[in-house]
Every structure is written in structure tokens, then in C-alpha cells.
């Protein structure tokens, strides 16, 4: 990892600055109206970005990508009811494609299409299915806000085109790849410290559930704080959806290091920070995804280093988890009973509330699939089910079964479109690598996550797919600005 200390410090301060600003001047939430200062800040950011993009200054795209990486869930700023991320998506892509249409001839388009027919075909098909699903959702009477929220992430795939250009034209003083790596490093370390701070203040009893910080964390930061035995709190943020793919990459990078003696390399720090986040997140499907994807990285020639790196990673995770639980419990527990319960609930879901809720959703989702097997019920759909946690019947847009949600909302045609897109990515990676690559392993981890979450079709999941598209096509000639 090539990191510049000055840029790293600036991006880390930006990570925390976004969150502090949104806490003092929040966007619109269920409890409070939007702060006008928050709206004005979003307008200013959009204006600067638009100016740079219109001037064909690549730093405009640095602002867009920086907001995505450092902004996490993307809910810290709003543009009069529209999130900053959604406004940036519409603004930046409109400017980009307008510029391309103005300079491209018919011959240029024919050449580009001939070289990228499978890329364009699978991407356009997936976008067409999403638009069809959105239309069906609106006609079926689904809540427009939910339909919009389910549809917008698909259009983030179009970020592939400007990303491909930035990878090919790195003429800036700060190359795009270096900027992304530095921003990602800052975001991961920032997220780790953010999680530790939240864990500490609740575990120590300084803050309580349902206070102002808790509501900001839930409504603005898009997180969840759950009290567990021995004063330990499970802390989860939506931006951690890519935790498993990132740990897979960090593990891969760590296995490549040849160390004659132990040293705190950036790769090791990056891996430890991610494992610390996992120790507070404790999402079971993430652990399953990491284990499955890491197994794909095994190679005969490096099996010893693979085993050693794996042992170090497991030891670090257990040490961090036990240390956090020991501190939270005031020396009464190392957390073994909690860790054992969450692993046991994979095979016995009725012993744990969230697993039981997911199990109760299953027959309701299957009923929806049977009603509209070909085209689905449309995006923005919801499920009505009795919650054993709340002791009442609830209507929820969260299916908690990712692939089944695709099948229920987009039907068999939508599922086949997703299958074609994923096959295209997988085949492209297979052409370049005789053995599984980190790109393919990270894709597998994201697919495993989608078993019980919206991994593939979440905003961050789609962005990761756009990044993998660039990785799969980067030696091909793309549109250039």
C-alpha cells in the first residue's frame, strides 16, 4: 500500500468531520427536521463538484469517490430531501454522458460497442430489469419512496465508465488509484475508532439507548446498537456491508508480504482494523463469507504462508474480541458464551431472536414468489409477518434473504439477468487467472453475504460490482474523457 501521510491525515479528518457535522447539523430524520446549514453544505459540495466536472477536471470525480468511500452509508447530507449521494449520482453521470455524446462519432460508438458488447449487454439488461421492476412496483401500489430506494442503487453500475477512465488517465499529482487506497485506509481506521468510541461510551454507561446519540447513530449514520450480556454492545453500521470483501483482500495482501521479522506494515494494520470491526459487528454471514472466500485463495505454492497468515488473522480476531468483552464485562467474561451462541444459532435459529425472525419471514417470501414467479411483485415490496421481538405484526421492506428478495421482486427474468451479469464477471476473471484471484474471491464473499442480506443490490454492493467491472476490463480500451 502506497500511503501519503499528509493525504491520509486529511482524509481521516474528513471521515470524522462528516459525522461530527451531521450530528450538529443533521439532515431530515424521523425525530427532527433538516438543518438548513446541512442543506446549504450539500448545495455547496454539489456546486463545486459540478464546476470541476464541467471543466473536465478529474478532481471532480475525486470528490464523488471521496464522498462514497468516506461517507459510508451516504446519509450525512441531504439536498432538500434528496441524499447528497443520490444527487451526486444524477449530476455526475449526466455531465459525464453529455460530454461523451458531444465528442463521440457514430464510428467511435461502433468500435466501443464491438469491444464491449458483453459488458454493455449484461449491464443494460440488468438496468432494464430494474426499471421494469420499479414500474411494476409503482403500478402494484408499493410505497414510492421504497421503490425509489430499491431502484437507484442499480444505476450506480454506470459509475463503471468514469472509473475506467480514471484508472487509465492517472496524470494528476495524486494518482486516482493512490487516492482510493489512501481514502479506503482512512475510512477503515476511522470506522474502527468510531466503533470503539461507540462501544466504550455505551459499555461504560456514559450514554444510554434511546438518547440523542443513539437516534443519530440509527437514523443518520444508519447503524444499530444492541445491548448484550455483560455490558457488551453489538455495534453495526450499513457501511460495513463490504467488510467481508475487504478482509479477503487484506488477507490476500498480507499473505504476499515476506517478512524476516515482525513489523507493523500498512497491510497488517489494515487487516487488524477490519478484524476489530468484525469483533464488534459479529454478523454471522460475514464470518461465513470470509471463511469461504479465503479458502478460494489457497494455492499449492504458498500453502504454508496461507496457513500462517490464517492463523495470525484468527488469533488477532479472538484476542480483540476477548479483550473487548473482558473490558466491557469488567473482567467477568471473555465473551465465549456470546460467540458460541451466535455460531450455534446458524444451525438452531430458534434460540436467537434475529435468526428466528428471519426464519418466520421465509414462508411469507415463498408465497410472494409463487404469486408472480416470472416478473416478480416489483421493487419496493414489503413483507407482513409477526415479530416475536416486538410481540406484534409488522410490515417490513427488509426480506433478510437476499437472493429470495431478488426472485420475489424481479422474478425469474430478473434472477436470470443477475446470473448472466455475475457469470460475465466470473468468466472475465477466469480468463486472466488460472487460479482464483482476490477479485473472484471478493465477489464470492459478496454473493455469500447476499444469502441473508441485500449484499449484491445494496448501494455499496453495486459500487463494488462497478469496481470489479473495471478490474475485469481494465486492459481493454474504454471511453476516454
Summarize pLDDT for 446-456 with one digit per residue, the tens.
999 999 999 99
184 found inside a domain: no
Q: What pLDDT, on a 0 to 100 scale, did the predictor assign at position 377?
A: 94
Q: Is the pLDDT of residue 368 over 70?
A: yes
Q: How many other β-carbons are positioned within 10 Å of the β-carbon of residue 210? A: 9
Where is the domain boundary, 298, 326, 347?
A: 347
83 found inside a domain: no
Q: What pLDDT, on a 0 to 100 scale, did the predictor assign at position 427?
A: 86
Q: Is the pLDDT of residue 365 over 90?
A: yes
322 found inside a domain: yes
Q: What pLDDT, on a 0 to 100 scale, did the predictor assign at position 480?
A: 38
**C-alpha cell of residue 5:** 501521510
The verdict on 379 and 428 lying in the same domain is yes
Entry field: residues in the chain: 481
The verdict on 362 and 342 lying in the same domain is no
The verdict on 407 and 476 lying in the same domain is yes
pLDDT band at 95 (very low <50, low <70, confident <90, very high): very high
The verdict on 360 and 337 lying in the same domain is no
Q: How many other β-carbons are positioned within 10 Å of the β-carbon of residue 367? A: 11
The verdict on 372 and 324 lying in the same domain is no
Q: What pLDDT, on a 0 to 100 scale, did the predictor assign at position 6?
A: 84
Q: Is the pLDDT of residue 348 over 60?
A: no
The verdict on 204 and 128 lying in the same domain is no
23 found inside a domain: no
Count of domains in the chain?
2
Q: Is the pLDDT of residue 316 over 90?
A: yes
Domain that holds residue 289: 190-347
C-alpha to C-alpha distance for 349 and 448, rounded to whole angstroms: 18
The verdict on 391 and 280 lying in the same domain is no
Summarize pLDDT for 183-234 with one digit per residue, the tens.
999 999 999 999 999 999 999 999 988 889 999 999 999 999 998 888 899 9
Of the listed ranges 175-179, 260-264, 344-348, the least confidently predicted one is 344-348
Q: Is the pLDDT of residue 301 over 50?
A: yes
The verdict on 411 and 390 lying in the same domain is yes
Q: What is the average per-residue pLDDT within 425-440?
A: 77
Which DSSP helix (H) or strand (E) runs through 78?
A: strand 78-79
22 found inside a domain: no
The verdict on 480 and 431 lying in the same domain is yes
70 found inside a domain: no
The verdict on 126 and 247 lying in the same domain is no
65 found inside a domain: no
C-alpha to C-alpha distance for 396 and 389, rounded to whole angstroms: 14
Q: What is the average per-residue pLDDT within 155-173?
A: 82
Q: Is the pLDDT of residue 352 over 70?
A: no
The verdict on 337 and 362 lying in the same domain is no
Closest CA to 125 of 425, 414, 410, 454: 414
Q: Is the pLDDT of residue 142 over 60?
A: yes
Of the listed ranges 61-75, 239-253, 348-362, 364-378, the least confidently predicted one is 348-362
Where is the domain boundary, 315, 347, 379?
A: 347
13 found inside a domain: no
Position with higher pLDDT, 248 vs 340: 248
CB 191 within 8 A of CB 281: no
The verdict on 253 and 373 lying in the same domain is no
Where is the domain boundary, 347, 379, 400?
A: 347
pLDDT band at 477 (very low <50, low <70, confident <90, very high): very low
Q: What pLDDT, on a 0 to 100 scale, did the predictor assign at position 434?
A: 52
CB 177 within 8 A of CB 167: yes
pLDDT band at 344 (very low <50, low <70, confident <90, very high): low
Amino acid at each position: 500500500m502506497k500511503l501519503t501521510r499528509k493525504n491520509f491525515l486529511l482524509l481521516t479528518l474528513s471521515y470524522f468531520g462528516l459525522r461530527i457535522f451531521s450530528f450538529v447539523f443533521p439532515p431530515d430524520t424521523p425525530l427532527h427536521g433538516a438543518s438548513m446549514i446541512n442543506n446549504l453544505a450539500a448545495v455547496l459540495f454539489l456546486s463545486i463538484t459540478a464546476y470541476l466536472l464541467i471543466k473536465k477536471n478529474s478532481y471532480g470525480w475525486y470528490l464523488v469517490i471521496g464522498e462514497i468511500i468516506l461517507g459510508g452509508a451516504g446519509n450525512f447530507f441531504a439536498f432538500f430531501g434528496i441524499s447528497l449521494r443520490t444527487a451526486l449520482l444524477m449530476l455526475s453521470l449526466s455531465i459525464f454522458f453529455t460530454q461523451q455524446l458531444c465528442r463521440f462519432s457514430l464510428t467511435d460508438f461502433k468500435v466501443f460497442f464491438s469491444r464491449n458488447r458483453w459488458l454493455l449487454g449484461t449491464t443494460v439488461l440488468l438496468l432494464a430489469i430494474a426499471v421494469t421492476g420499479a414500474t411494476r412496483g409503482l403500478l402494484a401500489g408499493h410505497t414510492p419512496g421504497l421503490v425509489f430506494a430499491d431502484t437507484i442503487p442499480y444505476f450506480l453500475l454506470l459509475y463503471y465508465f468514469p472509473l475506467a477512465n480514471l484508472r487509465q488517465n492517472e496524470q494528476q499529482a495524486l494518482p486516482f488509484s493512490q487516492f482510493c487506497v489512501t481514502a479506503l485506509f482512512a475510512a477503515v481506521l476511522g470506522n474502527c475508532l468510531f466503533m470503539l468510541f461507540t462501544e466504550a461510551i455505551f459499555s461504560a454507561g456514559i450514554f444510554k439507548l434511546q438518547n440523542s446519540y443513539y437516534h443519530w447513530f440509527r437514523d443518520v449514520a444508519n447503524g444499530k446498537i444492541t445491548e448484550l450480556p455483560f455490558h457488551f454492545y453489538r455495534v453495526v453500521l450499513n457501511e460495513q456491508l463490504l467488510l467481508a470483501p475487504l478482509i479477503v483482500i487484506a488477507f490476500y495482501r498480507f499473505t504476499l508480504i515476506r517478512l524476516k521479522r515482525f513489523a507493523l506494515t500498512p497491510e497488517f494494520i489494515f487487516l487488524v482494523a477490519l478484524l476489530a470491526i468484525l469483533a464488534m459487528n459479529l454478523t454471522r454471514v460475514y464470518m461465513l463469507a470470509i471463511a469461504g472466500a479465503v479458502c478460494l485463495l489457497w494455492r499449492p505454492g504458498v500453502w504454508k504462508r496461507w496457513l500462517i497468515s490464517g492463523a495470525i488473522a484468527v488469533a488477532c480476531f479472538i484476542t480483540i474480541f476477548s479483550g473487548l468483552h473482558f473490558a466491557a464485562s469488567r473482567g467477568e467474561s471473555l465473551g465465549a458464551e456470546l460467540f458460541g451462541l451466535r455460531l450455534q444459532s446458524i444451525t438452531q435459529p430458534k434460540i436467537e431472536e434475529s435468526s428466528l425472525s428471519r426464519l418466520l419471514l421465509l414462508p411469507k417470501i415463498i408465497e410472494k414468489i409463487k404469486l408472480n414467479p416470472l416478473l416478480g411483485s416489483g421493487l419496493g415490496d414489503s413483507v407482513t409477518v409477526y415479530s416475536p421481538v416486538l410481540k406484534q405484526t409488522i410490515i417490513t421492506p427488509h426480506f433478510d434473504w437476499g437472493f429470495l428478495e431478488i426472485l420475489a421482486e424481479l422474478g425469474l427474468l430478473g434472477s436470470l439477468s443477475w446470473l448472466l451479469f455475475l457469470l460475465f464477471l466470473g468468466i472475465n476473471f477466469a480468463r486472466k487467472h488460472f487460479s482464483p484471484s482476490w477479485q473472484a474471491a471478493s465477489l464470492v464473499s459478496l454473493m455469500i453475504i447476499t444469502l441473508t442480506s441485500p449484499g449484491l443490490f445494496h448501494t455499496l454492493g453495486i459500487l463494488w460490482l462497478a469496481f470489479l467491472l473495471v478490474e475485469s476490463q481494465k486492459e481493454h480500451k474504454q471511453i476516454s474523457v
